[in-house]
Amino acid sequence: MGIDFSYVLKIIDRISGAIPYTLFIIVISGSFGILLAAGIAAVRIKKWKVLSPLANIYVSFFRSTPPLIHIFLVYYGLPLILREFGINADDWSKTLYVSLALILFNGAYMSEYLRPAYLAVERGQHDAADSIGMTGFTKLRRIILPQMLPIAWPNLENAFVELVKDTSVLFVIGLTDIMGMAKKIISNDYGVKKLEVYLAAAVIYWCITFAVSKLCQLFEKKITIGNQTEKRVG
Amino acid sequence: MKTKLFSSVLAAALFAGVLSGCASNQNTGANASAAQSGAESSAAQVKTVNVALESGSKPLSFENDKGEKVGYEVDVLKAVDELITDYDFNIELVESDATQIGLETGKYALIGGGLYKTPEREQKYLIPNAINGVSLINIYVNEDDDSIKSLDDLVGKKLVPSTPNGGIFNLLTAYNQEHPDKQITITTGDGISVADRFKSVSDKEYDALVLPNNLGFAEIKEELGLKVKAVTPPVKINGTYFALAKDQTDLSAKVEQALKTLRENGTLSKLSETWYGEDTIKYFTE
């Protein structure tokens, strides 16, 4: 029983059809995820009353449970809660639910990369910025972020790579992402060439992950260069 | 200091705003459709309900290459939908775990997936007292082999491994418990594709395979040119049913009536021939 490589190529072509949708989910949940993470990290750093303990519970829960469960909870659980408030959420698109689930997951994860990075910037840097009369936002942009991002970035990069792979559970609620497409092909052929299809899916995930990490590295270069100039100026 | 705090709050607020923006947009969409169906219901009293079948379960329910939802149960549901005038079905295909979770949380009014009637299901769901189809448990053997006619003949034969704790495994185990003097050798294996199982019988690697008939035997046989046949009569004949949420008593009664009609007028038999290559309904005598 050998592997039929020409079939793998053919399948790669067919599964490629699901790449745009998968990328869409990655971009949406990645970008909103990091925004949520910033908010959550801020709440926890500032130790705001009520909000901070809530954020702690949220981060702890979503970091300790797999994305598959988040999708089930959000897709099947959230409408139950909304129904209590008289909102009928049964017709909302599945894309909205899975994005929300992945955003919540990534918000929790990424906030735990941002928070320590922020705390790693020395107190003296804050004081120095304050002493020359920088306002909060300028201080964040010119002093804190340039020092914080290089610390947080390698972890964030990992989170983005993980996100690519986390999309592979979308098929459970019937969405045709890369894995959904692979599953569909397998079942329509009665699993005649299962191995080839999974191999094709693996190659595609690999390519996307490679592209994502290359993009991240480009960005990393940019922020570290920014950091150095910032230091020179300072 | 304050401004930084402000900017993070702004970021969070922005995020929340976008989300709720999305949500409210979608919401108005849902409301609009609700209003629309409200308008319809005052006219013809049509209620749209979500129903779920299993994805990737060819030939029961699956998406074809064009992305259309097709399959035996999809066709049965559509036929039922046509007979029931005051409900409209919105069919979704999801994984089997998801169908049950969705039914329990009220997302779906009805689910399928080749379900048997079990005491547990009858307790948890409403099961209309009418079959939507018939699942046969068959013994598949090589076309050259005439020695196997029933489960009794499987003693001492080499059987294709069955999924641990699956229906077939339980059936064979039950047989062994009832016949202490005649033991079938049961081996287990998971994740073997249906096509590979049939192929191993065709290649005489194994003597026999016990399997439900609704897994696409006819098409696999033709596609791969296999020398495999089903032993008649089937080992076991099971009716398959739809399951409904406990609060759907009205819909359940209507589905039951519709399924009875479809069985009597031969629609179920016809669909069975289309998807399974034979009329399986006739084996079911209840």
According to the model, what pLDDT value does residue B231 have? 92
Nearest CB to B15; choose among A39, A88, A187 = A39
According to the model, what pLDDT value does residue A225 have? 65
Distance between first and last Cα of chain A: 65
Q: With respect to CATH, is domain B45-134+239-283 assigned 3.40.50.300?
A: no
According to the model, what pLDDT value does residue B166 have? 74
Q: Which pair of structure tokens corresponds to residue B14? A: 């922005």
According to the model, what pLDDT value does residue B45 have? 76
According to the model, what pLDDT value does residue B12 have? 45
- The CA-atom distances, in angstroms, between B58 and each of A180, B71, B217, B235, B278 are 15, 7, 10, 22, 16
CB contact under 8 A, A190 and B194: yes
Distance CA A204, CA A18 (A): 10
CB contact under 8 A, A136 and B94: no
Q: Does B61 touch chain A (CB under 8 A)?
A: no
Average pLDDT for runs of 10 along chain B of length 286? 43 42 37 41 72 91 89 96 95 90 92 90 94 93 92 92 82 91 88 87 93 86 90 90 95 96 96 90 88
CATH number of B136-236: 3.40.190.10
Q: Are A73 and A101 in contact (CB under 8 A)?
A: yes
Burial class (CB in 10 A: 0-12, 13-18, 19+), A33: buried
The torsion angles phi and psi of B207, rounded to 5 degrees, stand at -85, -35
Q: Does B220 touch chain A (CB under 8 A)?
A: yes
Give the predicted TM-score (pTM) of the model. Answer: 0.76
* Interface residue of B63, B64, B222 to substitute, partner A, most A CBs within 10 Å: B63
Closest CA to B17 of A91, A32, A4: A32
User: Do the strands B69-70 and B236-244 form a parallel or antiparallel pair, or are they unpaired?
Assistant: unpaired
Q: Are B251 and B110 in contact (CB under 8 A)?
A: yes
In chain B, residues with a C-beta closer than 8 Å to the C-beta of A130 are 1
Q: Are B285 and B156 in contact (CB under 8 A)?
A: no
Interface of B with A in 16-55 (CB under 8 A): 18-19, 22-23, 26-27, 29-31, 33-34, 50, 55
Closest CA to B163 of B139, B187, B134, B188: B188
In chain B, residues with a C-beta closer than 8 Å to the C-beta of A79 are 105-107
In this prediction the ipTM stands at 0.75
Nearest CB to A135; choose among B3, B65, B105 = B3
Which of A128-137, A216-225, B9-18, B71-80 has the highest mean predicted lDDT (pLDDT)?
Answer: B71-80
In chain A, residues with a C-beta closer than 8 Å to the C-beta of B107 are 75-76, 79, 90
Average pLDDT over residues A22-28: 94
CB contact under 8 A, B3 and A80: no
Q: Which pair of structure tokens corresponds to residue A160? A: 């983005």
In chain B, residues with a C-beta closer than 8 Å to the C-beta of A76 are 98, 101-102, 105, 107
Sorted by sequence, the CB contacts under 8 Å of residue B138 that are 6+ apart come out as B210, B211, B212, B213, B217, B230, B231, B234, B235
In chain B, residues with a C-beta closer than 8 Å to the C-beta of A43 are 12
Q: Are B86 and B44 in contact (CB under 8 A)?
A: yes
Distance CA A4, CA B216 (A): 23
Closest CA to A216 of A158, A163, A145: A158
Q: Are A142 and A230 in contact (CB under 8 A)?
A: yes
According to the model, what pLDDT value does residue B13 have? 44
Q: Produce one character per residue of A153-185: b if its CB has 16 or more CB atoms within 10 Å, e if not.
A: bebbbebbbebbebbbbbbbbbbbbbbbbbbbb
The ranges assigned to domains in chain B are: 45-134+239-283, 136-236
Residue B110's SS3 state is strand
Show the domains of chain A with their CATH numbers: 5-233 (1.10.3720.10)
- The CA-atom distances, in angstroms, between B158 and each of A114, B183, B203 are 60, 12, 13
According to the model, what pLDDT value does residue B164 have? 76
Distance CA B208, CA B159 (A): 5
From A139-143, A222-226, B85-89, the region with the lowest mean pLDDT: A222-226
Residue of A nearest to B97 (CA): A172
According to the model, what pLDDT value does residue A70 have? 94
B96 min Cα distance to partner chain A (Å): 8
According to the model, what pLDDT value does residue B43 have? 46
- 3-class DSSP string for chain A: CCCCHHHHHHHHHHHHHHHHHHHHHHHHHHHHHHHHHHHHHHHHHHCCCCHHHHHHHHHHHHHCCCHHHHHHHHHHHHHHHHHHCCCCCCCCCHHHHHHHHHHHHHHHHHHHHHHHHHHHCCHHHHHHHHHCCCCHHHHHHHHHHHHHHHHHHHHHHHHHHHHHHHHHHHHHHCCCCHHHHHHHHHHHCCCCCHHHHHHHHHHHHHHHHHHHHHHHHHHHHHHHHHHHHHHHHC
In chain B, residues with a C-beta closer than 8 Å to the C-beta of A85 are none
**Partners of residue B142 on adjacent β-strands:** B228
CB contact under 8 A, B63 and A91: no
Nearest CB to A38; choose among B5, B11, B19 = B11
CB contact under 8 A, A136 and B56: no
Nearest CB to A174; choose among B19, B27, B94 = B94
According to the model, what pLDDT value does residue B11 have? 44
DSSP alpha helix (H) spans, chain B: 2-43, 72-83, 96-105, 119-124, 167-178, 194-202, 217-224, 249-264, 267-276
| Per-residue pLDDT tens digits for A68-99 | 999 999 999 999 899 888 888 877 899 999 99
According to the model, what pLDDT value does residue B223 have? 84
In chain A, residues with a C-beta closer than 8 Å to the C-beta of B221 are none
Across the A:B interface, residue pairs with CB atoms under 8 Å apart total 141
Average pLDDT over residues A6-32: 93
A208 min Cα distance to partner chain B (Å): 24
According to the model, what pLDDT value does residue B72 have? 95
According to the model, what pLDDT value does residue B8 have? 46
B47 min Cα distance to partner chain A (Å): 13
CB contact under 8 A, B9 and A39: yes
Q: Which pair of structure tokens corresponds to residue B162? A: 């069955």
